């Protein structure tokens, strides 16, 4: 271990999993001549709803679009408060601002990075209308506890499941008969990827119908087929909607990836195993805990350094990894420290001390289905080499 040798090529933080099936599926979708929203998008909606075990799936062009539609269809708007976590991607809170409501942050549980249910409870006011928990990194939030809070206070629940394809809560997939809405991302780096894409999942017929209409300009349902022989040129605009729908070239990719989920997840777990074994007894590193109720989708491999035990900062640790040709990332730069949020709400980093400390010590290691055991071993050795050089 002491004779660590730097590899010659750069190991990317993330890569999509491209098999011949994806290439064939998109070639077929292109040749079919139906490039916009059409039969493939319809098929994906049906198959993804069936896969998670929900009544409706509205396929859209991003998770951000799904999150915006969720809040709109739940009737959330100006004067309303929506509770979410500061340890998330911007769209989780940006979309709350887009509907004119106010995002209210609740701090996290430092063992997991998930929003802390007790912190949510403290932030409830008479203006609170919804909670947007994030299944951070692929861990599940405590949905029974959060759901009970929502029931007690009449709050809408919109889950951010961008990391949660394959995540299970008490044995059931996230999205299985949801209380409110569940929003997925199929962005290039996510467990199920189609470049850009997303889905809104719900069991509520009214929400599903309105989200479907709003996702395509506000056109009456079925208007996607207005050029087909069975379709009609006549359509109505029920309300001014958005251009948020998925299209068939995306859907063909998403369908292929859905069919390959089991195999892709198996290979992800092989890499996880390597990291878990290598870092088990390293006091300079703090690993994420998986609550007993949950099956982790392993979208991210989240590692924190223990600053008191090292002579090197987190940022310098990342530079050392880069010098060893390892691409890494940080999930997330705490949202309340971003300038748009500081300007608008006057937040200080210490306002959410646990999320801030987490964000300042976290490093996301390469984690994807094509990473491979050998590359994971290399990453683990690189991390351990840095720990050894800089331990106090
Ligand atoms: C990726 C991500 C999103 C946004 O997904 P898009 O499909 O890019 O809009 C939302 N929330 C979280 C936690 C994410 O990681």
Average pLDDT, the chain: 97
For ligand 1, whether the C-beta of 134 sits within 6 Å is yes
- Look-up: residue for tokens 């979208």? 299
What pLDDT score does 2 carry? Answer: 59
Distance CA 262, CA 2 (A): 37
Ligand 1 test: best mutation among 66, 69, 140, 185, most atoms within 8 Å of CB? 185
**Any catalytic annotation for residue 190?**
yes
- Please list the ranges in the chain whose pLDDT falls under 50: 1
Separation of 65 CA from ligand 1 center, angstroms? Answer: 10
For ligand 1, whether the C-beta of 95 sits within 6 Å is no
Contact 215, 69 (CB under 8 A): yes
Separation of 185 CA from ligand 1 center, angstroms? Answer: 6
What pLDDT score does 382 carry? Answer: 98
For ligand 1, whether the C-beta of 187 sits within 6 Å is yes
Ligand 1 atom at minimal distance to the Cα of residue 187: 7
What pLDDT score does 97 carry? Answer: 98
- Look-up: residue for tokens 């928990």? 133
For ligand 1, whether the C-beta of 45 sits within 6 Å is no
pTM: 0.97
Ligand 1 test: best mutation among 92, 136, 138, 162, most atoms within 8 Å of CB? 162
Question: DSSP secondary structure string, 299-321?
Answer: SSEEEEE-GGGBSS-HHHHHHHH
């Amino acid at each position: 271990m002491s004779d660590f040798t730097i590899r010659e090529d750069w190991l990317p933080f993330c890569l999509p999993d491209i098999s011949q099936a994806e290439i064939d599926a998109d070639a077929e979708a292109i040749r079919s001549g139906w490039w916009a929203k059409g039969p493939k998008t319809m098929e994906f909606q049906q198959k993804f709803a069936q896969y998670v075990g929900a009544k409706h799936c509205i396929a859209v062009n991003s998770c951000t679009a799904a999150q915006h539609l969720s809040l709109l269809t739940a009737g959330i708007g100006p004067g309303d408060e929506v509770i979410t976590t500061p340890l998330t991607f911007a769209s989780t809170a940006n979309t709350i601002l887009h509907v004119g409501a106010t995002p209210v942050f609740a701090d996290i549980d430092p063992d997991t990075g998930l929003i802390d249910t007790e912190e949510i409870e403290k932030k409830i006011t008479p203006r609170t209308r919804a909670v947007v928990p994030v299944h951070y990194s692929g861990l599940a939030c405590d949905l029974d506890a959060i759901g009970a809070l929502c029931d007690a206070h009449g709050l809408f629940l919109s889950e951010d499941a961008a990391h949660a394809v394959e995540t299970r809560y008490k044995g059931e997939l996230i999205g299985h008969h949801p209380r409110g809405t569940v929003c997925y991302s199929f962005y290039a780096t996510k467990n199920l990827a189609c470049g850009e894409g997303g889905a809104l999942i719900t069991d509520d017929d009214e929400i599903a119908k309105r989200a479907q209409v709003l996702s395509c300009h506000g056109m009456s349902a079925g208007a996607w087929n207005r050029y087909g022989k069975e379709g009609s040129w006549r359509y109505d605009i029920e309300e001014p909607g958005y251009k948020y729908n998925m299209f068939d070239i995306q859907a063909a990719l998403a369908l292929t990836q859905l069919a390959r989920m089991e195999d892709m997840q198996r290979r992800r777990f092989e890499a996880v195993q390597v990291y878990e074994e290598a870092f088990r007894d390293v006091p300079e590193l703090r690993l994420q805990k998986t609550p007993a109720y949950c099956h982790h989708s392993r979208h991210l491999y989240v590692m924190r350094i223990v600053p008191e035990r090292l002579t090197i900062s987190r940022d310098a640790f990342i530079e050392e990894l880069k010098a060893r040709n390892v691409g890494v990332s940080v999930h997330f730069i705490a949202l309340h420290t971003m300038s748009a949020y500081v300007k608008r709400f006057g937040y200080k980093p210490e306002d959410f001390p646990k999320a801030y400390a987490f964000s300042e010590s976290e490093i996301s290691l390469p984690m994807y289905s094509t990473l491979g055991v050998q590359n994971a071993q290399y990453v683990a050795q690189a991390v351990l080499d840095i720990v050894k050089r800089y331990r106090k």
